[in-house]
Amino acid sequence: VVMEYVSQRLLESLADEVAQNQYVLLQTYALLNAQAKDYIRAAQERFILAPLLEALRDIFDTPDGIYQHLVKLLGRLRTEIPRQPSYACGNLLNLFRHLNGHLNHLDCSQLSVWQAYLAGISLQDINFRQADLSRSVFSPVLSTTLSVTFSPDGHYIAMGNADNNVRVWTVKDYKEYKTLQEHSHWVSAVSFCPDGQFLISGSFDKTLKLWDLETGACIETLRGHQSWIWAVVCSPDAKLIASSGDDHTIRIWDRASGECLHILEGHHASVMTLAFSPDGKTLASATYNVKAPVKLWDLETLTSRDLIPANLERRIRTVAFSPDGQYLATGSLACMTEIWEVETGAPVRQLRGHAQPVTCVAFAPQYDEMSEVFPLLATGSQDCSIRLWNYKTGESVHTLKGHPNGIWSMAFHPSAPILVSGSNDSTVKLWNIRTGESVRTLQGYSTGIKSIAVHPHQPQVACAGDNTLIHFWDYQHQIKQHTLSGHSSWIWSLKYTHDGTSLISAGNDNVIKLWNLAKREAERRFVGHRSLIFSLDFNPDCSMIASGSDDHTARLWETITGHCLATLPHAGRVWAVAFSPDGKILACGNCETLLTLWDVETHQPIRQIEAHTSLVWAIAFHPEGHIIASGSDDKTVKLWNVSTGECLQTFTGHQGSIWGMAFSPNGKILATGSHDSSIHLWDMDTYELKGILYGHDSAIWDLVFHGNDQIMSASQDGTVKVWDVDA
């Protein structure tokens, strides 16, 4: 009661002081400890910042009224106490953050910015000139974390990131120890050798790299995979490395020499996950292929057996062995985790509770400190949660919530009750598994733009990507107009309706949204995909939407009702979809190197083209509909006769994957954008290279023509560029 009384009096005094444009208490006391553990800082926000803002709302009526008053108070601080020790500016920034979620355009020059928690928030055009930032917390340089693991001694965390880097952080003080920069594409897998001296990384650049942890030097690059690598593990005796990926193979490498000892074949889809048994004699592998989703490989005889019967039709994303090697856990697109006896293949238990596919599973080590909760299994999902289970009883122990986006990877500390998780949201979190509380968040910030769409009748461009927002710009005057929020993760694709009144968007949260642009709200959701959605397209009259997904399907939707008209199965994830100009054909490009043409009316495949030697990232129909272009991870662009499937031309010259392409409206130019940061312009009359556009600092994700004489490009460097061309 006494604490409640004191807290209430403090809040009343703070509100009165702020209302009177004073700052004695704000200057003297930090309302929030920026360095505190996550759950402590969250409590301070809940019990101090939120009630204070409520009190200010009673005085200033609206959030905008509060904002304008706090801006004036910030200006008074700059005038009256520049360079003086003070918590006032940090307190105001924490209030701004809690009030509207960004600190854009604020002027904090020459002020002491103490105890401001600035991680994971937009700081566009904020002025920190000559400010003292020594006691505040900012976002580290951290992109989406595809893989995360602890070192064997528990002193380090290694992360594989979507910015092509491997980052190693110290657990003791959460500081970046090393940044390993040799990969040229996303780092999808990291694994420490059991001796802790070396780290192995696998990448979408098709290579494995072996790193010396002490020096940060790349000791060896292992080549052989023909497509993206998804999984890398080191054997318990540190002698072998196993890797797998989109080329359907598993490769076994000698760690000491770097020699590829064996190539294990038998899967008929991307091999997404691997796990060595504790004794190192067995390797488990899994795919989305329902006929043989999990194989157990005897590493002495190099033979395999299927663990799960084909009639169960499981699409498996992740596997893990129990510490004693008796059980294998599998996580699937069916949103459940299953426990299997390794020796017999008998199903032991199903663990249900996730609302989205299970993307990662991990067993807790058998260490004494965890005896009270062991046996423990953690499961991570695209539903943004992690669940802790007693896997022998099936009891749910804790549900860990705090990631706003899906979970990619997680790992247990080898000797302490800590779990680390990595997510689409550019955060890495550490959790106390006894209490279920988040104890630390490493919050990055990414501004890459994945998709753009040009309004058909106005000088407006919509763009979206890594930060969950859709931004609208007046491109003639280079003025930002407004933003739409509603997605919880990356946005991969945008398309305007032909009249410009609506926009569709989709991405990593598995949902398509149809936005009413006049009301600036989502008026319809299209739900059905079980994993990430990469690509969208409208048919010519916008009555139908096509979508391509990581769940190995393309779908056709009725725009006006949101009803799913058809589900078109594929052998791999569908990266690109495009309607023909007459709307009768849907083209799909996938990770199995195929270009598939579907009859939109019958929902049957018309033709399947072995288009490339690696996955098909981008496709576009010529405006006349007789030619379709495809761009691939194999760095080539190909032109195909739609009627016959004949390859008409192969364009070479890009030094990276082809991620974006577009024909000019008159069909005279094909523009292609690449991971190599360049745009190539191809003359469709002569099939010659017409020109190359340089200017982006990172990969180009999307291209759109505006008329015949302008191209707009979206890049991972966070910019949209407008180019003049002669079409």
Structural element, H or E, at residue 17? helix 2-19
CA distance 42 to 116: 14
CA distance 534 to 490: 10
User: How much is the pLDDT for 319?
Assistant: 98
Give 606's contacts (C-beta < 8 A, 6+ positions apart). Answer: 585, 597, 598, 599
CA distance 269 to 572: 7
Structure tokens at 501: 């009144």
Q: Are 575 and 595 in contact (CB under 8 A)?
A: no
DSSP state of 312: G
pLDDT, tens digit (0-9, with 9 covering 90-100), for 383-403:
999 999 999 999 999 999 998
Span 243-262, average pLDDT: 96
Q: Are 694 and 633 in contact (CB under 8 A)?
A: no
Asked if pLDDT for residue 141 goes beyond 70, the answer is no
Determine which of 57-61, 361-365, 513-517 has the lowest per-residue pLDDT on average: 57-61
CA distance 588 to 577: 5
Q: Are 534 and 550 in contact (CB under 8 A)?
A: yes
Q: Are 646 and 655 in contact (CB under 8 A)?
A: no
| Residue 136, Cβ density class (10 Å: 0-12 exposed, 13-18 middle, ≥19 buried) | buried
CA distance 116 to 369: 35
Q: Is 44 helix (H, G, I), strand (E, B) or coil?
A: helix
Q: How confident is the model at residue 374 (pLDDT cuts 50, 70, 90)?
A: low
Amino acid at 693: L
CA distance 44 to 33: 8
Structure tokens at 612: 């490339």
Please give the mean pLDDT across all residues of the chain: 92
pLDDT, tens digit (0-9, with 9 covering 90-100), for 260-285:
999 999 998 899 999 999 999 999 99
Q: Are 472 and 458 in contact (CB under 8 A)?
A: no
Q: How many CA atoms lie within 13 A of 588 on its CB side?
A: 34
Percent of the chain at pLDDT > 70 equals 97
Asked if pLDDT for residue 611 goes beyond 60, the answer is yes
Determine which of 294-308, 365-379, 423-437, 446-460 has the lowest per-residue pLDDT on average: 365-379
Q: Are 543 and 567 in contact (CB under 8 A)?
A: no
Structure tokens at 270: 């991307």
Q: How confident is the model at residue 1 (pLDDT cuts 50, 70, 90)?
A: very low
pTM: 0.80
Q: What angle do CA 225, 269, 356 make, to 5 degrees?
A: 115
What distance lies between CA 13 and its chain's CA centroid?
44
- Residue 659's closest CA among 616, 710, 688, 689? 616
Report the number of secondary-structure helices (H) and strands (E) in the chain.
Answer: 6, 57
CA distance 201 to 188: 8
User: How much is the pLDDT for 6?
Assistant: 52
User: How much is the pLDDT for 727?
Assistant: 54
Q: How many CA atoms lie within 13 A of 578 on its CB side?
A: 26
User: How much is the pLDDT for 130?
Assistant: 87
Return the sign of the alpha-carbon dihedral for residues 208, 211, 216, 221.
negative
What percentage of the chain's residues is helix, strand, coil (to nearest 5)?
10, 45, 45
Structure tokens at 411: 């790992």
pLDDT, tens digit (0-9, with 9 covering 90-100), for 685-722:
999 999 999 999 999 999 999 999 999 999 998 999 99
Asked if pLDDT for residue 312 goes beyond 90, the answer is no
pLDDT, tens digit (0-9, with 9 covering 90-100), for 154-197:
999 999 998 899 999 999 888 889 999 999 999 999 999 998 98
What distance lies between CA 20 and its chain's CA centroid?
45
Which domains, ranges and CATH numbers included, belong to the chain?
2-138 (no CATH), 353-445 (2.40.128.630), 449-724 (2.130.10.10)
Q: How many CA atoms lie within 13 A of 197 on its CB side?
A: 5
Span 646-664, average pLDDT: 96
Span 79-101, average pLDDT: 89
Q: What angle do CA 258, 224, 246 make, to 5 degrees?
A: 125
Q: Are 364 and 371 in contact (CB under 8 A)?
A: no
- Residue 146's closest CA among 126, 131, 163? 163
Whose structure tokens read 């304008």?
A: 68
Q: Which residue has the higher pLDDT, 79 or 310?
A: 79
Determine which of 292-296, 336-340, 558-562 has the lowest per-residue pLDDT on average: 292-296
What distance lies between CA 253 and its chain's CA centroid?
29
Asked if pLDDT for residue 34 goes beyond 90, the answer is no
How many residues appear in the chain? 727
Q: Are 409 and 362 in contact (CB under 8 A)?
A: no
